[in-house]
């Protein structure tokens, strides 16, 4: 029997800024504006000059934008 994982059990994967930009199509400055506004997932600091994002959080943000877009009444 295959083992099923819930989102809480799924392995976490760190991604760098370039991949976040690829997923979202947002510029660096727009990403940081949204982080400051609290509308985009915050990065995780691995060291003084190393920041990453949690892939699942970024993908969830993308899915939420799609859902919002699809549910808007024209």
Residue-wise pLDDT for 19-67, tens only, equals 999 999 999 999 999 999 999 999 999 999 999 999 999 999 999 999 9
Structural domain of residue 26, as residue ranges?
14-71
Residue 36 within a domain: yes
Residue 9 within a domain: no
Instruction: Provide the domain count of the chain.
Output: 1
Residue 5 within a domain: no
What pLDDT does 7 receive?
55
* 74: confidence class by pLDDT, cuts 50, 70, 90: low
Predicted structure pTM score: 0.80
What pLDDT does 63 receive?
96
Buried b (16+ CB within 10 A) or exposed e, 29-61: eebeeeeeeeebbebeeeeeeeebbbbbbbeeb
Residue 42 within a domain: yes
Residue 59 within a domain: yes
Residue 60 within a domain: yes
């Amino acid at each position: 029997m295959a083992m099923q994982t819930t989102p809480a059990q799924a392995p976490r994967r760190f991604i760098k800024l370039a991949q976040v930009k690829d997923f979202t199509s947002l510029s660096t400055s727009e990403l940081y504006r949204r982080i400051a506004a609290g509308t985009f997932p915050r990065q995780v600091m691995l060291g003084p000059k190393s920041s990453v994002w949690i892939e699942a959080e970024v993908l969830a943000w993308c899915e939420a934008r799609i859902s919002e877009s699809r549910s808007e009444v024209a």
